[in-house]
Structure 1
């Protein structure tokens, strides 16, 4: 089996705790409003946002896949980090055996933060994931950017 790992760091002027909450913890509630070009439905289908919670997203034609379901395996609201595992959709079973993503938001002294993302895929033998990796990085950056823009446009927002 082939393992592929990619990482991404995104600097933001938004505070770490607010961006973590908007882009990770509450993303299933904000996604449709903030990314209507990519998401047609988003919902928590199990749990209340903590460990073991499952969320599903129905995606538009602009996305490479039309559906994904993820489980939150680790959430630390104090350390502003989480781990998510893909459990359905996005090529699971046809292109990849498994996929997980670790996300951490680190505060900066200027009041902003840096979002660090590390994602690991186990590809089905004979399948390369370069296209998926490129698209996943774009989608991840888009989620962070949409949450950031929302929080900058709505500075009084208390998530």
Structure 2
């Protein structure tokens, strides 16, 4: 098995505590409101939504990804970090065993945030990871992030 690590950042004017609450703690509610044209549903299929829980994320037709299951591995509310793993779904293919995503939200001097994203692709056997595929996925995440930020700016009382 190989492990390929990629890092990516998103910058936001939203303060870290609010962004963490929205993106990590209340993502089921937020994502279906902020990106209804992409995400059909998010449901907790095992657990209470916290560490150890498994969520099923389903996208609307027309998206490259139809659905996947995500396991919440860690949540650190004080340091605004989390870790989750995709172990099932069409995100994975004949090359991938699982993908983990970590987020760390840090404050900027102007009161905004930097979201540091780390993705690790665990491959089967000696398979590699196509960097252009990872970059395309990051662009989709950037677009989703912009929708979420726009929703939070338009709804200043949400997720405080």
Normalising to structure 1: TM-score of the pair? 0.88
**Given the superposition, is the C-alpha separation of residues 4 and 40 from structure 1 closer, same or farther in structure 2, using an over 3 Å criterion?**
same
The unaligned stretches of length 5 or more in structure 1 are: none
Question: 1:29 touches 1:43 (CA, 8 Å); kept in 2?
Answer: no
Within-5 A mapping of 1:106-125: 106-124=106-124, 125=126
Within-5 A mapping of 1:16-35: 16-35=16-35
Question: 1:28 touches 1:55 (CA, 8 Å); kept in 2?
Answer: no
Per the alignment, residue 60 of structure 1 pairs with 60
Q: Could you tell me how far apart the structure 2 residues matched to 1:143 and 1:114 are?
A: 16
Within-5 A mapping of 1:1-159: 1-92=1-92, 94-124=94-124, 125-126=126-127, 128-159=129-160
The alignment of Structure 1 onto Structure 2 pairs a total of residues equal to 159
Aligned partner of residue 40 in structure 2, secondary structure = strand
Q: Could you tell me how far apart the structure 1 residues matched to 2:91 and 2:48 are?
A: 26
Q: Could you tell me how far apart the structure 2 residues matched to 1:62 and 1:5 are?
A: 28
Question: 1:37 touches 1:62 (CA, 8 Å); kept in 2?
Answer: no
Aligned partner of residue 97 in structure 1, secondary structure = strand
Moved over 4 A (4+): none
Q: Could you tell me how far apart the structure 2 residues matched to 1:120 and 1:23 are?
A: 19
Aligned partner of residue 117 in structure 1, secondary structure = strand
Larger mean CA deviation between 146-155 and 73-82 belongs to 146-155
